[in-house]
Structures are given as structure tokens and as C-alpha cells.
């Protein structure tokens, strides 16, 4: 049974997250329906990460196991044909090698958070950026972000419903930069806790506005207390932009 490795892009706004829901639209449900329409199989796919409601992706990775050995390009074209009315696109398809697994083989996940920092609201990117009217100091935010880099107990930035066994995570990259009217936040790690990126982003925005200092972020991290976290940033500006497999 061949396993196919899909690179997937989607707009998270129409969906209640990636994970399949019994009665609600999901990215997983849309892809599985396309697989069934194409192949006649009813299957369960796996992904590198389960994004929340409203979160977008330009580099999600999904695995699909099919009974028939189809050419990878045929699979890609067929799925896209059945996803025409969905906000989901298959960007690439390859036949997986060995025991590769979309989730368990991943050793890096990369997220981008977009903040539109201007007075006027977004017209073209509504629902795809977090609109912050007050001026943000991106350099101060970047300095504060370095406090979060490394191995830490991220309980402060962990959602109460997080099912991870441990709050210990290693954050490899936390970077904040300004590009025109946007303040962009880059985060890279092997894995993340539930809503960790949005929690860190909301806290760093407090630094950008001037309400928090670098020391405040350090104290919040060291508190290991969810109530010490700043406001959680909305899902609108969050994108899963890449997954690494060491290959």
C-alpha cells in the first residue's frame, strides 16, 4: 500500500481547525472527502500538525495511504479537482520512502505570525492578519523574544486544554521583524504546545506597545503559570509555513 506525502495550503477561515469534526467543516474532512471521491476509499489521513480554527497553512504536510499505486502527479491533480470548492490546495505530492510518517517523522515545525500594524484596517487581508492600531516596537519585541529561545517549561504559554504530556519544549527560533506595515514573528521548534505560538505572540505584542518589558516576559516564563501570560493573539494571523524531516 503506497503512502503519499502531500504539501498542503489552506485558508483556515471556513474550517473548525484541521482535525476532522463529526458535524463541522474541517481541513482534514475536506481532504478525506476528496480522497474518497477520487479513489473510492474511505480513509483517515495524518498531518504534521493540527491547526486550530481559523489558523492558515502554506506548508502543512499530510500523508495519504492508498490501496492502488497511482502516479504522484495523478493523485495531486485528482485531489485538487475534488477540492475546487474548498479553501484547500495540494501544492505537491510525492511517494513516501520507508517508514516515513507525516507527524512522527517531523523534526521541525515553522510558524509565521502576521501583525498588520497601521491605523487603517485590512481590506484585502481581512481574517489573515491581526490588526493592531497602536505602533509596535519590533526591535523591543525581538529582544524580548530571545528570552523564550531554548529549553524551557512553557506552562505560562500553554493552553489549559493542552494534552501534551510535558510543558517542556525547546524553542529553536523566535524572531520579530518589521516589513513595511507588517510586524512578522517567526517561530521554529520540533513541536509546540497547544496555542503556544499565539500565547507568545500576544505577550510579545504587549512589549511592542510598551506595556511590558523584557524582564516582564522573563518573569512570566519563569512563573510557569498560565495566568501570567499576556493576551492570546487571535488565530487570524497565524500560519504553519513549513515542516522539516531532516531530508
What single string gives the DSSP state of each residue in 29-94?
Answer: HHHHHHHHHHHS-----EES--PPTT-EEEEEEEEEE-SS---HHHHHHHHHHHTTTTTEEEEEEE
d(CA 43, CA 27): 14
d(CA 188, CA 184): 13
The CATH fold assigned to 3-95 is: Alpha-Beta Plaits (3.30.70)
Q: Where are the domains of the chain?
A: 3-95, 108-244
Indicate which residue of 52, 65, 137, 159 is catalytic: 52
With beta carbons less than 8 A apart as the criterion, state whether 27 and 15 touch.
yes
Active site residue 186: no
With beta carbons less than 8 A apart as the criterion, state whether 45 and 64 touch.
yes
d(CA 155, CA 24): 30
Grid cell digits, residue 108: 521541525
In this prediction the pTM is: 0.96
The tens-digit pLDDT sequence of the chain (247 residues) is 899 999 999 999 999 999 998 889 999 999 999 999 999 999 999 999 999 999 999 999 999 999 999 999 999 999 999 999 999 999 999 999 989 999 999 999 999 999 999 999 999 999 999 999 999 999 999 999 999 999 999 999 998 888 888 999 999 999 999 999 999 999 999 999 999 999 999 999 999 999 999 999 999 999 999 999 999 999 999 999 999 998 7
CATH code at 108-244: 3.30.70.660
Equal CATH topology for 3-95 and 108-244: yes
Amino acid at each position: 500500500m503506497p503512502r503519499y506525502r502531500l504539501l498542503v495550503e489552506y485558508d483556515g477561515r471556513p474550517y473548525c481547525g484541521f482535525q476532522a469534526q463529526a458535524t463541522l467543516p474541517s481541513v482534514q474532512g475536506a481532504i478525506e472527502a476528496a480522497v474518497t471521491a477520487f479513489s473510492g476509499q474511505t480513509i483517515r489521513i495524518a498531518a504534521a500538525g493540527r491547526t486550530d480554527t481559523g489558523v492558515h497553512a502554506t506548508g502543512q504536510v499530510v500523508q495519504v495511504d492508498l490501496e492502488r499505486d497511482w502516479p504522484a502527479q495523478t493523485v495531486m491533480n485528482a485531489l485538487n479537482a475534488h477540492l475546487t470548492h474548498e479553501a484547500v490546495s495540494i501544492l505537491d505530492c510525492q511517494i513516501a520512502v520507508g517508514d516515513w510518517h507525516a507527524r512522527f517523522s517531523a523534526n521541525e515545525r515553522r510558524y509565521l505570525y502576521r501583525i498588520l500594524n497601521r491605523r487603517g484596517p485590512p481590506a484585502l487581508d481581512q481574517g489573515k492578519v491581526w490588526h493592531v492600531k497602536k505602533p509596535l516596537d519590533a526591535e523591543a519585541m525581538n529582544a524580548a523574544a530571545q528570552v523564550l529561545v531554548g529549553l524551557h517549561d512553557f506552562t505560562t504559554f500553554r493552553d489549559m486544554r493542552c494534552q501534551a504530556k510535558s510543558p517542556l519544549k525547546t524553542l529553536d527560533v523566535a524572531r520579530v521583524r518589521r516589513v513595511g506595515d507588517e510586524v512578522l514573528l517567526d517561530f521554529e521548534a520540533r513541536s509546540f504546545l497547544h496555542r503556544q505560538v499565539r500565547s507568545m505572540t500576544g505577550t510579545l505584542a504587549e512589549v511592542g506597545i510598551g506595556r511590558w518589558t523584557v524582564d516582564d516576559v522573563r518573569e512570566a516564563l519563569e512563573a510557569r503559570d498560565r495566568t501570567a501570560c499576556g493576551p492570546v493573539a487571535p488565530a487570524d494571523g497565524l500560519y504553519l509555513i513549513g515542516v522539516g524531516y531532516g531530508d
